Chain A
Amino acid sequence: QKEVEQDPGPLSVPEGAIVSLNCTYSNSAFQYFMWYRQYSRKGPELLMYTYSSGNKEDGRFTAQVDKSSKYISLFIRDSQPSDSATYLCAMNDNQGGKLIFGQGTELSVKP
C-alpha cells in the first residue's frame, strides 16, 4: 500500500463546475499538507498549505483536512479552462521536510 493514494483520473468537467480532488494517507505522522498544480512540462506550483484539520479557503480553492480519517480534499469552485492541469497532493511530517506525493490527478475543464 502506498503512503499516499490519489485517484489519477483523468477527470473531465464542464466550465463552471465544482471540482473535488481527494487523497488518503496511511501515515498518522503526516502533519503538513499541500496541494500543487502542475501544467505540462512545468514545475509544480504551490496552491494550498495547511497543517490543521478543517477548511482553508483561498479564492476559488478550498483545502480540507480530516486527520482522523486521514483524508484531504481540494475543492475548486467555478472551474475554468485554465484550471486544466495535474493536481498533486503532498504531505510531510515536519516543516520543510521531504514531501510524499500522491500520484496526481489530471483535470480537464471543457469550455
Chain B
Amino acid sequence: GAVVSQHPSRVICKSGTSVKIECRSLDFQATTMFWYRQFPKQSLMLMATSNEGSKATYEQGVEKDKFLINHASLTLSTLTVTSAHPEDSSFYICSAPDFGGGTTGELFFGEGSRLTVL
C-alpha cells in the first residue's frame, strides 16, 4: 500500500509552546489530507481536512486558531498546535487518499505523533 510518513513520532513540550507535526505522502500525491486525534482506547476523531493550495476545513468544535493546518504542496501537510496546554496531549494521526495506479481512493494513515504537553 501507499506510504504516509509522520514526523515527529513523539514530542514532549512545555505548556505555552507551539509544536509542528509533518505529514508526507511518500509515493503518491495528495491534494487532500485528513488530521485525526485519538485519545487512549477511543476511536479516531476527525479534526480537519487539509486542502492543497487552500484553507483547511475544520470539524465542528475544533479551534482553527489553535490547530493551524498548512498544505503547501501535494505531498506535505503540517499541523501546528499553538500555545499547547496539557489538555492538548493526545495522539495525532494524518491520512491521505491514494488515487494513483488504478486505486480508488483508499485512505492510508501515518504512524501517528504522540504529543505530551507538560
Chain A residues engaging chain B, CB cutoff 8 angstroms: 32, 34, 36, 41-46, 49, 51, 88, 90, 94-99, 101-104, 106
Bound state CA distance, A77 and B49, in angstroms? 36
Chain B contact-residue range equals 20 to 34
Residue of B nearest to A103 (CB): B43
Bound state CA distance, A22 and B43, in angstroms? 15
For chain B, residues 70 to 115, give those with C-beta under 8 angstroms from any C-beta of chain A: 91, 93, 95, 97, 99, 104-112, 114
21 pairs, A vs B, C-beta closer than 8 Å: A36-B109, A41-B91, A42-B112, A43-B4, A43-B93, A46-B107, A46-B109, A49-B104, A49-B106, A51-B104, A88-B43, A90-B107, A97-B105, A98-B46, A98-B49, A99-B34, A99-B44, A99-B107, A102-B43, A104-B42, A104-B43
Find chain A residues with CB under 8 A from B41 CB.
106
Task: Find out whether the CB atom of B99 lies under 8 angstroms from the CB atom of A101.
Answer: no
Task: Find out whether the CB atom of A43 lies under 8 angstroms from the CB atom of B106.
Answer: no
Q: Which of A34, A41, A104 meets B107, CB within 8 Å? A: A34
Find chain A residues with CB under 8 A from B110 CB.
43
Bound state CA distance, A51 and B42, in angstroms? 26
* Interface majority SS (helix, strand, loop, mixed), chain A: loop
Residue of A nearest to B4 (CB): A43
Q: Which of A43, A88, A95, A106 meets B105, CB within 8 Å? A: A95
* Interface majority SS (helix, strand, loop, mixed), chain B: strand
Task: Find out whether the CB atom of B32 lies under 8 angstroms from the CB atom of A96.
Answer: yes
Residue of B6, B49, B97 contacting most chain A CB atoms (<10 Å): B97
Task: Find out whether the CB atom of A34 lies under 8 angstroms from the CB atom of B106.
Answer: yes
**B112 CB → nearest A CB, Å:** 4
Bound state CA distance, A34 and B34, in angstroms? 16
B61 located at the interface, meaning its Cβ lies under 8 Å from any Cβ of chain A in the complex: no
**A68 CB → nearest B CB, Å:** 22
Bound state CA distance, A104 and B39, in angstroms? 12
Find chain A residues with CB under 8 A from B34 CB.
98-99
For chain B, residues 26 to 77, give those with C-beta under 8 angstroms from any C-beta of chain A: 32, 34, 41-44, 46, 49
Task: Find out whether the CB atom of A96 lies under 8 angstroms from the CB atom of B114.
Answer: no
